[in-house]
Amino acid sequence: MATFEVLGGCPMKGEITPQGAKNEALQILCAVLLTPEKVTIHNIPDIVDVMQLIELLGKMGVETEKVGEGSYSFRAVDVDVDYMFSPEFSRAASRLRGSVMMLGPMLARFGRAAMPKPGGDKIGRRRLDTHIIGFQNLGARYEPNEDNSLNVLAAPDGGLQGGYMLLDEASVTGTANIVMAAVMARGKTVIYNAACEPYLQQLCKMLVRMGANITGIASNLLTIEGVDYLGGTTHTMLPDMIEVGSFIGMAAMTRSEITIKDVSFDNLGIIPTQFNRMGIHFEQRGDDIYIPCHDNYEIESFLDGSIMTIADAPWPGLTPDLLSVFLVVATQAKGSVLIHQKMFESRLFFVDKLIDMGAQIILCDPHRATVIGHNHQVQLRGTRMTSPDIRAGVALLIAAMSAQGRSVIQNVEQIDRGYQNIDGRLNALGANIKRIE
Ligand SMILES: CC(=O)N[C@H]1[C@@H](OP(=O)(O)OP(=O)(O)OC[C@H]2O[C@@H](n3ccc(=O)[nH]c3=O)[C@H](O)[C@@H]2O)O[C@H](CO)[C@@H](O)[C@@H]1O
Ligand SMILES: C=C(OP(=O)(O)O)C(=O)O
């Protein structure tokens, strides 16, 4: 088990560049299965989940070649469809969530596909209904195996057929999966209540460059006219907005002065405003964000004077992946906030550790926590903890970096799933994080 030893109280100074976006990479990599032609992708983050997906593509017969730092070329000429039905595939695919998005392209191009229950963060129920019902709306047959351990899908004779669908929820991976299935279906597909985060916009734009016909990109109403064939392309991943948000929170809480380079500000949506409402202010300098040292920051109240709520919502609402960061940052703010994690029911339990460290938090129920900030009057105390998921892991790292004394964070494999060389990059700015096992 990998472990970090963190010495708190070391403010950072300097510049940091966000990695390519994890959740975009997972969609884009699955899309290479849609064409036998070469697809070259730049700004691929070197993180565990993404590398596992590239390895999985290789095992399926996709030729993969590293062509530069963070750049790979792919050619899906001889794809071994049967491999998807093997126990070896199941073992590898169930290690990450993103593998689920192989279903759509495989169904579109080869007419059949299989997937075990995907992995990813254990943060509550993560059902696949939206994906499967979407495929069924395109005429696919859904045949789970006897013990329900494998989701098997088959296209009808003549291939998938476009249709209208209103998604039961704006699932991110579900929308990506259905879009990738529909681009080569016969006729027109209309997807209403589609997720529309920048990652999905990036996927759709890439598919259009490959020859797909998609309108409504960036909205929740996508219209797709099926085409017979998609060709190769080149694509560059956006910077990871969750990393950008994590660095903003980290800087404020540790009283650091940092510049986050090339953030693609226009694609950050409501994230900057939400930090502003926490009393964290920064300057946009071109496409960089400069965060001055914050002696303190005060959470705004709502206009009627009531306590602010920070809640997640489908894009363009606030991503759930940053709520753990907002929560930990609030522990040293002036004022109080209610953190409401609406989407996932097991993502707030890490607050026990923050309470052990001296934070004032009331876990109201699995979805809601009230945080009463210390306004830096009381420092958190270093402690020993375990990272339960990627984002809680980073929240604990932020807590440890701001705390008095030494902390130990175990299971940092969870953090490594989503953050590239996080210890090395933060140490370069003055943090004190040692990887000890
Ligand atoms: C690999 C990847 O891209 N993972 C992201 C993706 O996961 P993923 O695509 O798995 O998440 P979904 O968008 O399907 O749903 C997430 C959860 O939110 C609930 N839900 C979803 C939509 C909705 O309108 N209402 C609602 O309550 C779902 O029931 C589910 O419990 O999107 C999540 C939501 O942004 C992020 O946390 C994950 O980091
Ligand atoms: C929940 C996340 O990832 P995944 O969907 O891959 O588990 C995340 O990135 O915060």
Nearest to 274 by CA among 240, 239, 314, 325: 325
Q: Best mutation site among 100, 121, 166, 172 for ligand 1, i.e. most ligand atoms within 8 A of its Cβ?
A: 172
Please give the average per-residue pLDDT across 161-187, as a whole number. Answer: 98
Measuring from each residue's beta carbon to the nearest atom of ligand 2, which residues come in under 6 Å? Answer: 22-23, 49, 97-98, 120-121, 321, 390-391, 418
The strand pairing partners of 68, in sequence order, are 71
Tokens of 402: 């701001």
Q: Is the pLDDT of residue 264 over 90?
A: yes
Indicate which residue's Cα is closest to atom 2 of ligand 2: 121
Q: How far is the CA of 344 from the centre of ligand 1 (A)?
A: 8
Identify which ligand lies nearest to the alpha carbon of 169.
1
Q: Is the pLDDT of residue 437 over 80?
A: no
Identify which ligand lies nearest to the alpha carbon of 391.
2
Please give the average per-residue pLDDT across 333-356, as a whole number. Answer: 96
266 burial via Cβ count (<10 Å: 0-12, 13-18, 19+) = exposed
pLDDT band at 155 (very low <50, low <70, confident <90, very high): very high
Residue 291 CA to chain centroid, in angstroms?
23
Q: Match domain 22-236 to its CATH number in 2.40.70.10, 3.20.20.140, 3.30.70.980, 3.65.10.10.
A: 3.65.10.10
> What is the pLDDT at residue 421?
97
* One-letter amino acid for residue 115 of the chain: M
Q: Contact at 8 Å (CB) between 43 and 237?
A: yes
CB atoms within 10 A of CB 335: 18
Q: Is 126 in the pocket of ligand 1 (CB under 6 A)?
A: yes
Whole-number percent of the chain with pLDDT over 70: 100
| ipTM exceeding the 0.90 mark | yes
pTM higher than 0.80: yes
pLDDT band at 149 (very low <50, low <70, confident <90, very high): confident
pLDDT band at 138 (very low <50, low <70, confident <90, very high): very high
> What is the pLDDT at residue 124?
83
> What is the pLDDT at residue 215?
98
Nearest to 134 by CA among 91, 171, 90: 171
Give the integer Cα–Cα distance in Å for 89 and 87: 5
Give the integer Cα–Cα distance in Å for 107 and 229: 14
Whole-number percent of the chain with pLDDT over 90: 95
Sign, CA dihedral 159-160-162-163, equals: positive
For domain 3-19+239-435, the CATH superfamily is: Enolpyruvate transferase domain (3.65.10.10)
Indicate which residue's Cα is closest to atom 32 of ligand 1: 172
> What is the pLDDT at residue 49?
94
Residue 82 marked as a ligand binder: no
Q: Is the pLDDT of residue 210 over 80?
A: yes
Tokens of 153: 């899908």
Please give the average per-residue pLDDT across 152-179, as a whole number. Answer: 97
Tokens of 394: 């980073």
Q: Which residues are catalytic?
A: 121
- Write down the mean pLDDT value for the chain: 97
Q: How far is the CA of 171 from the centre of ligand 2 (A)?
A: 13
Please give the average per-residue pLDDT across 5-18, as a whole number. Answer: 98
Q: Tens digits of per-residue pLDDT, 64-123?
A: 999 999 999 999 999 999 999 999 999 999 999 999 999 999 999 999 999 998 887 788
Q: Tens digits of per-residue pLDDT, 278-303?
A: 999 999 999 999 999 999 999 999 99
Q: How far is the CA of 413 from the centre of ligand 2 (A)?
A: 13
CB atoms within 10 A of CB 186: 15
Residue 78 marked as a ligand binder: no
**What atom of ligand 2 comes closest to residue 390's alpha carbon?**
10
Q: Does residue 366 have a cis bond before it (omega within 30 degrees)?
A: no
Give the integer Cα–Cα distance in Å for 401 and 250: 8
Q: How far is the CA of 199 from the centre of ligand 1 (A)?
A: 13
pLDDT band at 163 (very low <50, low <70, confident <90, very high): very high
Q: Which helix (H) or strand (E) holds 407?
A: strand 406-410
Please give the average per-residue pLDDT across 26-53, as a whole number. Answer: 97
Residue 97 marked as a ligand binder: yes
* One-letter amino acid for residue 380 of the chain: L
Indicate which residue's Cα is closest to atom 4 of ligand 2: 120
> Which segments of the chain belong to CATH 3.65.10.10?
3-19+239-435, 22-236
Q: In what order do the strands lie in the sheet with 257-260?
A: 13-16, 257-260, 288-291, 283-285
Residue-wise over 10-37: b if at least 16 C-beta within 10 A, else e?
Answer: bbbeeebebbbbbbbbbbbbbbbbbbeb
Q: Is the pLDDT of residue 397 over 90?
A: yes
Q: Tens digits of per-residue pLDDT, 374-395?
A: 999 999 999 999 999 999 999 9
pLDDT band at 147 (very low <50, low <70, confident <90, very high): confident
Identify which ligand lies nearest to the alpha carbon of 176.
1
